[in-house]
Structure 1
């Protein structure tokens, strides 16, 4: 957002930074992004990803 919008990408009047902050919070909401990836891979393939 900052590269595309320049200084406007960090202002509250523009929605880009709000969306970026929301997306960043998803990575740490209930564990790390890597753990979520392993769990989803296990659910999809049926293979234990933690061995």
Structure 2
């Protein structure tokens, strides 16, 4: 796993945790953009996955 992949995965997990917390506190509509950022970073992680 490269440094870029590690950063993408860490950001995806962090935004997911923040998004879940905000959706519990404020509702899903207000935290939708945070959850979408998590999905974007997860997609970037998958796109930059090292080829075997």
Q: TM-score, length-normalised on structure 1?
A: 0.39
More helix by share: 2
Tell me which of the two structures has the higher relative contact order, counting C-alpha pairs closer than 8 angstroms and 6 or more residues apart.
2
- CA radius of gyration, larger in: 1
For normalisation by structure 2, the TM-score amounts to: 0.39
